[in-house]
Structure 1
Amino acid sequence: MSKPLSTSALAKLRGIPGKELFSQLEACGFIQRKGNEWVLLPAGEKAGGQYVDHTKYGKYITWPDDLSLQCADKTPNSPSAQKLVTATIIGKAFNLSANRMNSILSELGWINKALKGWTITPSGASAGGEQKEDFRSGIPYVVWPNAITENKALKTTISEVQGESASEEAKPETNDCSNFRDKFEAKLRTTDGHYVRSKAEMLIDNWLYMAEIVHAYERKLPIEEEVYCDFYIPTGKVYIEYWGYENDSKYLHRKAQKQAIYARYGFKLIELEDADVQNLDDVLPRLLLKHGVQSY
């Protein structure tokens, strides 16, 4: 005979975080959040859920210890029914802690750090994430479809963070972007050791370094398309593009494509031209501040 357990006790028995089990129960239609409480639904009662009134802990829901949650996996393509997992579960798939996993999701621009917890961004929602809130503390967190572990952008970023070579699937394909990068080899060494492709990029990189702003050069955008920015600033999640070669028709076409991609995904973008590069001390602090990045 099965033993009735509270949701927290059942989660502990199954070795998963409590909020993960609550998400699964919600996905199955067993419970629903109303105000600050979880309400037991008819499907939950049918599955064996029941209310218990405890003299010390008050009213809560218990479940059979052999409760089946197969309903969470019946229709993987349905957002309301697919299994949703937390950063803790995703991290286990890559041998990473929950904190490290959230940092990677943040770097991808999928979540933002709140005063406590994490909030989802439009890019995160597009990747399948859903905003949740701890029913006791009210701390926000984000859950993800189980298939997120196969997301190309996520896998590529994790491989880079872990110092591993990208898989064949994640390697750049031959396109206008890669041809351009091959044509203009990065030979100029900046103050912080980056090798860049033009004097203008060297000036920008040196300015960011002297301003003590952490930045990456030619960071791949966290999207399926093979697109690389000129510079990426993790603080503020800001991208910088320097537009040169304005007399080259192929370059202008590539520029228009990249601008459209930045707009489509809602990325924060700073665009610089030759006149701006000659006056970085006035231009960059003002543009960075618009995105919450302070210099000097």
Structure 2
Amino acid sequence: MHKTLWMVLSLIVITACSSTFPDWSISPPQDTSNLFITTGSGNNLESAKSNALEQLSNRLIVDVANTTLTNNVKNAQNQVTQSIESYGVLNSEQFSFINATVLKSQQVNGVVHVLMQVDKKSVFDSIHNYLDIQVVPLIMSNQDSAQIISNGVLLWPQLTKVEKYVSLLTQHNQDKRFIKSQLSNFKEHFINILSETDISLVVGATQAQHKSHQQSSQLININDRLQLQYQSLLTKKPNASNKVEIIILGPTISYFDQAPIHAVKIEAQQVVTYNKKIVVQRPITAFELGDNKDSVMVAAQNNFVNQLSLGSK
């Protein structure tokens, strides 16, 4: 009796699922040697496609944004020991997929389902392009201590993301430039120097600047966001041999509000000093335009913060 009832209930569940999702959505085809296959659902075709690509992003790479407390100590044998307390927050890494094609679409009970394919080469090419422009110049060999520490400071906020990208390439045998080895060597040298380096962060106005700069810094919450990004580096070492300052001069914010057009421009100067010598000095400019004031401001803030790490010096 119980066995019969269980079989009936299972049949009802299977039938209900089948009537809600197409078969190819429940059991999608496997990836091929050249293509990623993904499915998604939404209220319309565009939202279903967006969901499918988001699902693929989640499957390919998860960016673990860690808040870490790092303590580097060098012992008598010149070996560095590192203790880390990590509090992870999972965030999907969003790719800009090129050549994404809808293979099938079906609407069931008002919900649109799609089956899509994405060319693997386009994904790997995009990652290689990012790494070649933003990362490889920072991790090249034959750097002195000042170069390693300044490049490490620029790389640090994006390091976990970069490592995930490199891991993805390695997993699919696409690390043709041996970036994984270069990154590992650079990170080892950086951590060794870091054990003898005190790093501090200065954001906003100096005494010679206007109060409006301080208000701008508070408005876009830049100080808190950078404190979070660099938290694991900002460990006080009173007896450190080296001192690094990460300085953000500004920022200033310009607005244009004339519906339906809204625009925000955020500007600042980024300076990194190593033992009071300037090793990085560059302007940072973020500009966003759109028809939603709040969305434009958020996009400009994110653009600004992202530019403070990596990029050409």
Report the TM-score, using the length of structure 2 for normalisation.
Answer: 0.23
Bigger relative contact order (CA 8 A; separation at least 6): 2
Report the TM-score, using the length of structure 1 for normalisation.
Answer: 0.24
